Every structure is written in C-alpha cells, then in structure tokens.
Amino acid sequence: MARVLRPYRRGVAVAQVERSGSAQRVLDVALALFTEHGFDGTSLQQIADRLGVTKAAVYYHFRSKDDLLAALVDPAFAELEDLLSRTEALPRGAARQKCALSEFVDYLLRHREAAAWMSRDAAALTRPAVWERAQGTQRRLEALAAPGEDDPLSRLWGGAITQALAGAVLAQPHADEDWLRTEVAELSAHLLSGYRAARRRQG
C-alpha cells in the first residue's frame, strides 16, 4: 500500500499507511477488543463477530493477529521514530533535552488510548512487531532525556525520566489535555533539574 504524509499538531508530517475504510474498521474494532480483553484474549473470530462479517473478510486485510497488531502499532512507531530523528539532529544541550521530552509528552497525549492498553498488555508488548521497535525507540529516547557517555548515571536517569513522564500521562486517561500537559511539563522540569544535580555530584 502507498504511504502518505499526514500533518499533525505542530505541523510535522508523518508517514502513514493509506488504508481502505473496511481495513481501518477492522483496526478500530481490534483496538477496542484488545483494550477490553487483551491481545491473547481476543480472536480473529471475535473481531469478525463485532464487525458483523465473516472471518474470511478479516483475513482479506490481515493474514494473522500479529499482522493486525503490526498494522495497529506501525503508525505510532513511525511517528515516534520521526520525532526522535528530528530531535537528535538538534544541537546537543539543555534545549534539545527539553524539546525531546516536550515532544514525547505531546506524542503520548495523541496516542493515550493505544498507549494505555499497550502498557498493561504484556502479551502484546512481547510480540516481535512491538518488542524490537519499542526497545530501539526507548534507548534513543533515554539518551535524549539524560545525555551522557552511555554511563550508568545517564542510563538510570534516562529510564527514570521517560518512565515517569509516560506513567503520569497514561495514569490520567480522561484528564483535560491542556491541564495534563502543563502539570507534566512541571514534572519534567523537576526531573531534569534532578538529573543536572546528579551530574554535578558525580563531577
């Protein structure tokens, strides 16, 4: 299928797969059922039943549940990878660090529903379509959050900062977006201050 560029909030274009309306309906129903019952607890037959079609109609678009999962997560991963590449291209320093975390929070807010499901569905998280890309993007994000020479202090704080921000956003799935962004920005500022203090202590 052809790739298209779709702009989002800050004018950034993100590559996404152009899908037919029927394929998108399969994805929407799959996400709803995965959220309700988990990846392992959902079958292609259940997806077909919810749609009111035969299982063959689902197979027409997706050959397996893993293919369906890959199609669900690919646009979000593509968007995150684009975000990371743009931020990594900025000059190193506090401004890049702050920009990376601000962009990450906006990204989480755009994908709160899917991210909240994924964060608690171990079966989905460990599928190859998710696990390998998640590990790669997490390492890159941590390096932006706590830049250093890949030393233990940077790895500790990088993981702590990104997990804290993600946890704060995903723990408030129904909170007002502007309010949540403001509060998480305050949290981010405190965490970055803590990281800089830790670096000074280490010398």
Q: Which two tokens stand for residue 124?
A: 């989905």
Residue 14 has pLDDT above 60, yes or no: no
Residue 27 has pLDDT above 70, yes or no: yes
Residue 141 has pLDDT above 70, yes or no: yes
The predicted structure's pLDDT at residue 19:
63
The answer to whether 87 and 100 are in contact (CB under 8 A) is yes
Residue 81 has pLDDT above 70, yes or no: yes
The CATH number assigned to the domain holding 39 equals: 1.10.357.10
Q: Which of 42-51, 62-71, 143-152, 174-183 has the lowest mean pLDDT?
A: 143-152
**Bridge-partner residues for 7, per DSSP?**
13
CA nearest neighbour of 145 among 132, 163, 170: 163
Across 94-121, average pLDDT: 91
- Residue 3's H or E segment, with its range, is strand 3-7
Please identify which residue in the block is written with the tokens 């190193």. Answer: 92
How far is the C-alpha of 8 from the C-alpha of 12, rounded, in Å?
6
The predicted structure's pLDDT at residue 203:
72
- By residue range, what is the domain housing residue 117? 3-202
Across 152-171, average pLDDT: 94
* Total tally of structural domains belonging to the chain: 1
The predicted structure's pLDDT at residue 150:
81
Residue 25 has pLDDT above 60, yes or no: yes
How far is the C-alpha of 60 from the C-alpha of 48, rounded, in Å?
11
Q: What is the pTM assigned to this prediction? A: 0.80
Strands 3-7, 13-17: pairing kind: antiparallel
Within the chain, where are the H helices?
A: 21-37, 44-51, 55-61, 65-88, 94-110, 112-120, 122-125, 128-145, 152-170, 177-202
- Residue 10 pLDDT grade (very low, low, confident, very high; cuts 50, 70, 90): very low
